Amino acid sequence: MNKALHPPTMINTKEPIIQVTNLGKAVQTSEGVLNILTAIDLTVQPGETIAIVGASGSGKSTLIGLLAGLDLPSQGEIILAGTSLTDLDEDGRAILRGKYVGFVFQSFQLLPSLTALENVMLPLELAAHQAPEDAAKKLLDRVGLAERITHDPSHLSGGEQQRVALARAFATQPKILFADEPTGNLDSHTGDLVIDLMFELNQEKQTTLILVTHDEHLASRCDRSIQLEAGRIV
């Protein structure tokens, strides 16, 4: 049976949206096995906002990559929206991501070939939305970029690019939003504006937010923080 074909379609709101048990990630290096993450247990409830904090190299990005199904763990289990990620193949995880997950990255990761509007339309089109253009325009209007919709990413400032990325992330009304250092490439003022917008949208759409950050102030705005140190939750 093709594992890609059967992601769950309903989510029980009383169930945790993410359930992580004994998660570990190790890689083989020239000096032997390197444990990046060890024995992580984590439960995330729907609508919760969580900050993952820690020093460089503590395993934050690896954890978010695993939680979002971008990579597979060496051990343990992740249940995302009721489905075990380890039971799915790469295409199955892609479908799951398309359905439940949104992303915001430090380096924005807009598609350079597409305009702002087209970038936001893309996940809607992938999800076979009835009127992707209208929905995308509304979102861009919501993030204050109604005048810039035809611009290419390279013609937008960093803050504007991140706002387009936010609009894109919220376009399909994902259940979970993963944000990896969303203000890392922005000055503090622009960063604050983007974060305000993100939390506002998060409130509006009732999204679960998992955020990787160095910024303690930003972490304090979340419901709770998870501190990582050398691949373990402390």
Residue ranges in contact with other proteins by CB under 8 A: 4, 61, 64-65, 68, 70-71, 90-91, 94-99, 103, 105, 107, 109-114, 118, 122-123, 125-128, 152, 154, 180
Cβ closer to other proteins: 82 or 98? 98
Residue nearer to other proteins on the CB measure, 71 or 77: 71
CA distance 55 to 68: 21
**Residue 152 C-beta: closest distance to other proteins, Å:** 8
Q: How far is the CB of 218 from other proteins (least distance, A)?
A: 18
- Shortest gap between Cβ of 94 and other proteins (angstroms)? 5
Q: Which is nearer to other proteins, 101 or 196 (CB)?
A: 101
The least CB distance from residue 206 to other proteins, in Å, is 21
DSSP string, 131-167: SHHHHHHHHHHHTT-GGGTT--GGGS-HHHHHHHHHH
Cα distances from 61 to residues 33, 112, 151, 179, in angstroms, run: 19, 23, 30, 10
Q: 81 with 15: CB under 8 angstroms?
A: no
Quick one: three-class SS letters along 162-192? HHHHHHHHHHCCCCEEEEECCCCCCCHHHHH
Nearer to other proteins, 12 or 107 (CB): 107
